[in-house]
Amino acid sequence: MALCLESGYTSLNKKNEELCGDRVESAVSGEYTTLVLADGLGSGVKANILSTLTSKILCTMVSNDIDIEECVETIISSLPVCKVRGVAYSTFSVIHMNGEGKGYLFEFDNPQAILIRGCKCQDLPREGMDILGKTVYKSVLDLSEGDVIVVMSDGVIHAGIGMTLNLGWQRPEVMEYLDANVKPSMSARAVACLLAGVCNDLYLGTPGDDTTVAAVKVRQKLNVDLMIGPPVDKDKDDFYISRFLAGEGKKVVCGGTSSQIVARHLKTSVRASFDFPDKDVPPIGFIDGIDLTTEGVLTMRRLLELSEKYADVHDLTPKTFTKKDGASLLAQMLFEEATDVHFYVGQSINAAHTGLPIDITMKLKLVESLAANLKKMGKNVLIDYD
């Protein structure tokens, strides 16, 4: 199976600040993913400008294979100098790695990155490099499937200082917490959110510093094909269903009419579930050979709401979905498990919707909004209109 990289991050703003002084930028160039976490000096607008410039410059230069020395020199000569402190300063962590887990990590003044292997934390070997009088640490990366690299701003190790803890949350405690709580099935985003969430708890919900956690995970690709709505041309039902069923990966069918067409093609029937895990989401169905069968528009609406929260980098609700309603099961599959999502959208007018405030444009808008949020999560998304 082909491997790929998955990344995600979560940020907490310092209390009373509208802008975050930390910034995460990522770019994919060829086989390589570059992720930069920068932390600007101070907080608020100034810090935001410093970290934005640093992350953008580094991400652009490193993803174009420009030498790290040149990148750091460019940053030092580009950042505006703080009038009060007389320095231009932003710390950074840079991950530059291909889908096979090979690449480099560069760190300057951020807390040391953590490698999670087999759900246990360890340090990466690193060597110091002197660049214009500043020590930048370099680690050679050679990761395996399931490995996660976590980088963070110093808000993580300051969490709880003078509040819940005397000296903040030191790195060994951070590693101990991750050892106890990271699960193999967690996405990069779920790991980042897990750590940021506990930092927020230590700060009693009012962070004393901008706090950002970013994670990159090496994982297998998983394609999910999702069919919603019957095709316009009824005579071509079998052609469209064959195409939908042809590829590898998981298969999802949304909508009653679509389910009937797919079941007929597979020479089976749709079995309904009478469980209502959530009273606002219609129950799921079962078709032999299909991984998940749900109702259409109402389930998609709830799924869109869940995707808004999941894609919001400031939202701290856990990123794994344990409820058994159709929208939660879909969310777990699309947000946490999938790397590639292919929508097959039938544009036929559904006779079942006659007299209801549901039309084809509403369904198309739902799919397009959902696709946009999936792209924000870093998924590869394709939409076919039939």
DSSP code per residue over 134-182: EEEEEEEEE--TT-EEEEE-TTTTTTTBTTTBSS---HHHHHHHHHHH-
- Residues 25, 151 within the same domain: yes
Q: Answer with the one of 164, 195, 219 that is the final residue of a domain.
A: 219
Vertex 36 angle, CA 148 and 33, to 5°: 60
Q: Answer with the one of 153, 188, 219 that is the final residue of a domain.
A: 219
Q: Answer with the one of 172, 188, 219 that is the final residue of a domain.
A: 219
Average pLDDT of every residue of the chain: 91
Domain count, the chain: 2
- Residues 335, 352 within the same domain: yes
Lowest mean pLDDT among 106-110, 227-231, 348-352: 348-352
Look-up of token digits 């006659």: 354
Beta bridge partners of 35: 26, 95
- Would you give the distance in Å from CA 151 to the centre of its chain? 15
Q: At what angle do helices 44-63 and 68-78 cross, to 10 degrees?
A: 150
- Residues 193, 49 within the same domain: yes
- Residues 57, 200 within the same domain: yes
Q: Which residues, at least 6 apart from 308, have a Cβ–Cβ distance to it below 8 Å?
A: 373
The domain in which residue 121 lies consists of: 3-219
- Residues 147, 263 within the same domain: no
- Residues 227, 214 within the same domain: no
Q: Whole-model pTM? A: 0.92
Vertex 194 angle, CA 189 and 199, to 5°: 125
How many CB atoms neighbour CB 266 within 10 A?
14
Helix (H) or strand (E) holding 7: strand 3-12
Closest of 258, 333, 255 to residue 294, by C-alpha: 255
How high is the pLDDT of residue 134? Answer: 86
Closest of 254, 260, 255, 231 to residue 243, by C-alpha: 231
For residues 258 and 263, what is the distance between their CA atoms, to the nearest angstrom? Answer: 9
- Residues 46, 181 within the same domain: yes
Virtual CA dihedral for 74, 76, 78, 80, nearest 10 degrees?
Answer: 170
For residues 94 and 34, what is the distance between their CA atoms, to the nearest angstrom? Answer: 7
Give residue-wise pLDDT tens across range 154-198.
Answer: 999 988 877 666 666 889 999 999 999 999 999 999 999 999 999
- Residues 227, 115 within the same domain: no
- pLDDT surpasses 60 at 356: no
Which domain CATH number covers 153? 3.60.40.10
- Residues 238, 214 within the same domain: no
Give residue-wise pLDDT tens across range 46-78.
Answer: 899 999 999 999 999 999 999 999 998 898 888
Give the three-class secondary structure for 130.
Answer: strand
- Residues 300, 348 within the same domain: yes
Look-up of token digits 């490698």: 115
Helix (H) or strand (E) holding 330: helix 326-331
Q: How confident is the model over 353-367, as a mean pLDDT?
A: 72
How high is the pLDDT of residue 164? Answer: 62
- Residues 158, 29 within the same domain: yes
- Residues 247, 268 within the same domain: yes
Percentage of the chain with pLDDT > 70?
93
